[in-house]
Amino acid sequence: MSRDVEVVVIGAGQAGLSAAHHLARLGLDLVVLDAEERAGGAWQHRWPSLTLARTHHVHDLPGLPFPPAGDDVPAADAVPAYFAEYERHFALPVHRPVRVRAVRRAPDDSRREHRSELCARGADRGAESGRRAWPDDRFRVETSDGDWTADAVVNATGTWTRPFVPRYPGQELFRGRQLTPVDYRGAAEFAGQSVVVVGGGASAVQLLGEIAEVADTTWVTRRPPVWREAPFGPDEGRAAVALVEDAVREGRSPGSVVGVTGLVVTPWVREARARSVLARLPVFDRFTPDGVAWDDGRFVRADAVLWATGFRAALGHLAPLGLRGPGGGIRMEGTHVAGEPRVHLVGYGPSASTVGANRAGREAAVALRRLLRPEAALPR
C-alpha cells in the first residue's frame, strides 16, 4: 500500500533541504526521502582534512544561518550538525534511511476513483485546498521502505555516490590501489609511497597537496589547468553558471561548474607550487602492472592512483521515466526537465553548488506550487 503526497523530494543535501523548506513554506504536502543514516547529505562523507576553511564556502540554507564554527572544524562534522538542526528547526518530514530505487509514471486507479468521487460531489481536493488534480499521470516512487505516490518529484540526489573513473588500457593489470575522493581518508596511508593523482579540479589539487607531504606524487590532467589569480566575482560566477545552463538547456551533459571556472590560486596553492607539487603531466596512455606509462617512453612507478576525475549525477532511479535524450543528456528548462514540469532536478548542472542548490530549491518549489495549486495565491 503506497502513501500519497503532492511532492516527493529525493535527497536531503543542500538542494533537497532548500526545496523542502520552500515547499513546506508554500503549503505543499511533501515528504523527503534520504538514503543516509543521518543528516548531512554528502558532506558527512567528505575526507576529514576538508576543513571549513578549505571549502569554497558553504552557503547558509534558507531561513537559518550556519552557526559560527572554527575554520579548522572538518566540514564533515560542521555541515551535518547544521543540517540536522535545520531539519529539526523547520520540522521537515525527512524519512531515512530510505533509498529510492525507481520512479515510474503510474496512473493511480484508487486515487483516480477517489478523485472522481470527490469531483462528482463538487468537492474535489482542488476545490477544497486549491490543489489541482492529476488523475491520469502520477509518479510511483519505489523505495527500500515501501512506495509513495506523488504528483511531482524534486530530485536532489547529488553526485557523491557516482565518482567517475575513466578507463585506460591495462587498468585491470595494475597491482596497486585505485581510489577516488570518496575513498580518501587522509594522506597518512600513503606515507612513503608513489601516488599518481589524476584530475584537474579543486579536489585533485587539494588532495595532491596533502599527499605530497608524505609521498612522491605525480599529477596528471587531461588539459593544462587554468589558474585564476583572483577569487571569483559575482559576474564571473554568473557567467560560469550560464555556460553550464546552456549545456543542460541543450540536453548536453552538465560537466562541472569548476570545469568552466578554473582553479583559484589560494595562498595554499602558491605554497604547493613553490614545492613543485603542481608540476603537471598529460594523462598517461596505459597502465602497467607497476605503474603508468606514456607512449613517448615515460614511465612512473605507482603504488596508488587517485582518480579525482569528477562525479556524475546520481539519476539511475529516474531511468524508468526515460528523461534522457538521444545524446544521453537531459534537456532542462530552468530546474525542471523540458516538457515535464513535474520533475525537477535540483543541485544538478548549473545548481551543483551550495548557493546554486539554494536557489534551485526555491525555484522548483515556487514552480510546483503554481502548477499544483494554480487557484491559490502564493504566500509572501
Contact of 175 with 289, CB cutoff 8 Å: yes
Q: Which stretch binds ligand FAD (CB under 6 A): 53-61, 166-174, 188-196, 328-336?
A: 53-61
Please, which of residues 191-250 interact with ligand FAD by CB under 6 A?
Answer: 203
| 52-60, 213-221, 265-273, 280-288 -> range binding ligand FAD (CB under 6 A) | 52-60
Which one, 362 or 373, has the nearer CB to ligand FAD?
362
Point out which span in 35-43, 60-68, 172-180, 265-273 binds ligand FAD (CB under 6 A): 35-43
Least Å distance, CB 51 to ligand FAD, is 11
| Binders in 87-116 for ligand FAD, by CB under 6 A | 99-100
Q: Is residue 306 a contact point for ligand FAD (CB under 6 A)? A: no
- Kindly state whether residue 74 participates in binding ligand FAD, applying the rule CB under 6 A: no
Among 4, 6, 34, 124, which residue interacts with ligand FAD (rule: CB under 6 A)? 34
Q: Does 278 bind ligand FAD (CB under 6 A)?
A: no
* Residue 156 interacting with ligand FAD (CB under 6 A): yes
Q: Torsion-angle region of residue 271: left (phi > 0), alpha (psi -120 to 50) or beta?
A: alpha
The interface region with ligand FAD, picked from 14-22, 125-133, 239-247, 322-330 by CB under 6 A, is 14-22
Task: Rule CB under 6 A: choose which of 6, 36, 210, 363 binds ligand FAD.
Answer: 36
Q: Which of 10, 133, 215, 306 binds ligand FAD (CB under 6 A)?
A: 10
Q: Is 12 in the site for ligand FAD (CB under 6 A)?
A: yes
Q: Judged by CB, which is closer to ligand FAD: 157, or 221?
A: 157
Nearest-approach distance from CB 46 to ligand FAD, in angstroms: 6
Residues in contact with ligand FAD by CB under 6 A are 10-16, 33-36, 41-42, 46, 55-58, 99-100, 156-158, 160-161, 181, 203, 314, 317, 347, 352-355, 357
